[in-house]
């Protein structure tokens, strides 16, 4: 099956009260682990590539590995650019066969974000590619952050509706408390479900995206730490909160950090137990299996997109 758009995936996810997992890919083992998990769980899949991944692997290697995944499976897979920060990177991905791009103008003032996003949408739609925009600031939230501080960081629902109307984006990443990396909350985890609810009311049937949605499972943090190298202040988004968001307007949930933790914990364990090992397959293989197990868990227990082909 050729690469698919996320349009139909999101329509079904919205109606079905589940979300599609968007997993970051950087190399062959990560791609294989994710794709094998989706195959077992019969789940639609978004593979996403950041600017950093393109730099690490070279763009053509990643697109060819994703092509191999399409030959290896009948799954509906979308190939998505994660956090494109200018028109040129979006154009490059559209021209090289991506079916979805993100233009992340969230660091710009509203008008500049609108202008940049609308320009990408115009080019992408001409080429049959869908676009994710972003509005609001993803940042760690302190326990004692007050309402006006939250308003300054989090996405304003009225602005979100206006942003979608002005730009024509196909999906929107919003800030309601998640953030990137292994350290997300400085106290009790908190997601602003009231705000998500309001966005859903102002944008009916419109797919919302959650970035920074790793849960940073304690068991993996401890496993990484017990084999050397502590991960500072690790704390993620509780999985029940993500499950709840998936039953609301959230149709795409981005996960990268949890895959990094799973793979690294497994590789550290192999090398700690076999210090003389120097065949990369002996540690990258278990790393790939750890990715598969983590993605199967997310699909079944967090996203709810198993058996949705």
Window of 107-115, 126-134, 206-214, 273-281 that interacts with Zn ion by CB under 5 A: 206-214
The residues in 97-156 that bind ligand G3H, with binding defined as CB under 6 A, are: none
Cβ closest to Zn ion, residue 97 vs residue 181: 181
A 10 A CB-CB count for 232 gives 6
* Residue 53 contact partner, candidates ligand G3H, ligand 13P, Zn ion, none, CB within 5 to 8 A by sort of partner: ligand G3H
Strands 130-135, 171-174: pairing is parallel
83 binds ligand G3H (CB under 6 A): yes
Strands 45-49, 208-210: pairing is unpaired
Residues with Cβ within 8 Å of residue 147, at least 6 apart in sequence = none
179 binds ligand G3H (CB under 6 A): no
| Residue corresponding to tokens 């709810």 | 304
- Which x/- pattern, by CB under 6 A, does the window 125-154 give for ligand 13P? ------------------------------
212 binds ligand 13P (CB under 6 A): yes
Q: Which of 32, 100, 214, 292 binds ligand 13P (CB under 6 A)?
A: 214
> Distance between CA atoms of 63 and 70, rounded to whole angstroms?
11
183 binds ligand G3H (CB under 6 A): no
Instruction: Write out the H or E segment, with its range, that includes residue 81.
Output: strand 77-84
Window of 84-92, 211-219, 271-279, 294-302 that interacts with ligand 13P by CB under 6 A: 211-219
Contact 8, 20 (CB under 8 A): no
Distance of CA 257 to the CA centre of its chain: 10
Please, what is the Cα angle at 119 between 117 and 123, to 5 degrees? Answer: 115
213 binds ligand 13P (CB under 6 A): yes
Q: Which of 180, 243, 244, 300 binds ligand G3H (CB under 6 A)?
A: 180
Lookup: tokens for 67: 């092509």
Cβ closest to ligand 13P, residue 107 vs residue 281: 107
Contact 116, 87 (CB under 8 A): yes
User: Annotated catalytic sites, by residue?
Assistant: 82
CA nearest neighbour of 23 among 13, 33, 14: 33
Beta bridge partners of 44: none
Q: Which of 7, 180, 243, 244 binds ligand 13P (CB under 6 A)?
A: 180
> Distance between CA atoms of 47 and 24, rounded to whole angstroms?
6
Cβ closest to ligand 13P, residue 198 vs residue 252: 252
Q: For CA atoms 172, 119, 256, 43, give the dihedral sign.
A: positive
53 binds ligand G3H (CB under 6 A): yes
113 binds ligand 13P (CB under 6 A): no
Which residues sit at the interface with ligand G3H, rule CB under 6 A?
A: 24, 50, 52-53, 82-83, 180, 256
Which residues sit at the interface with ligand 13P, rule CB under 6 A?
A: 24, 82-83, 180-181, 211-214, 254-258
């Amino acid at each position: 099956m050729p690469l698919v758009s996320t349009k139909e995936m999101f329509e079904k996810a919205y109606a079905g009260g589940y979300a599609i997992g968007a997993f970051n890919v950087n190399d062959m083992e990560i791609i294989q682990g994710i794709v094998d998990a989706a195959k077992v769980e019969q789940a639609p899949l978004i593979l996403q590539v950041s600017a950093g991944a393109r730099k690490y692997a070279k763009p053509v290697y990643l697109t060819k590995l994703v092509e191999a995944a399409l030959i290896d499976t009948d799954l509906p897979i979308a190939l998505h650019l994660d956090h494109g920060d200018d028109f040129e990177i979006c154009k490059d991905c559209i021209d090289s066969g991506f079916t979805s791009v993100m233009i992340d103008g969230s660091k710009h003032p509203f008008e500049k974000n609108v202008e940049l996003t609308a320009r990408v949408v115009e080019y992408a739609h001409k080429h049959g590619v869908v676009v994710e925009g972003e509005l609001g600031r993803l940042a760690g939230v302190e326990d004692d952050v007050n309402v006006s501080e939250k308003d300054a960081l989090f996405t304003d629902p009225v602005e979100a509706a206006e942003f979608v109307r002005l730009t024509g984006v196909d999906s929107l990443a919003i800030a309601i408390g998640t953030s990137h990396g292994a350290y997300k909350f400085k106290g009790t985890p908190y997601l602003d479900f009231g705000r998500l609810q309001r966005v859903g009311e102002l944008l009916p049937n419109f797919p919302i995206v959650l970035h920074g949605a790793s849960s940073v499972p304690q068991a993996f943090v401890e496993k990484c730490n017990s084999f050397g190298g502590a991960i500072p202040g690790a704390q993620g988004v509780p999985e029940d909160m993500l499950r709840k968001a998936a039953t609301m307007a959230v149709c795409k949930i981005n996960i990268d950090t949890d895959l990094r933790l799973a793979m690294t914990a497994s590789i550290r364990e192999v090398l700690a137990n076999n210090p003389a090992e120097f065949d990369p397959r002996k540690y990258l293989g278990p790393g790939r299996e750890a990715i598969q197990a983590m993605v199967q868990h997310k699909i079944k227990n967090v996203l709810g997109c198993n058996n949705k082909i």
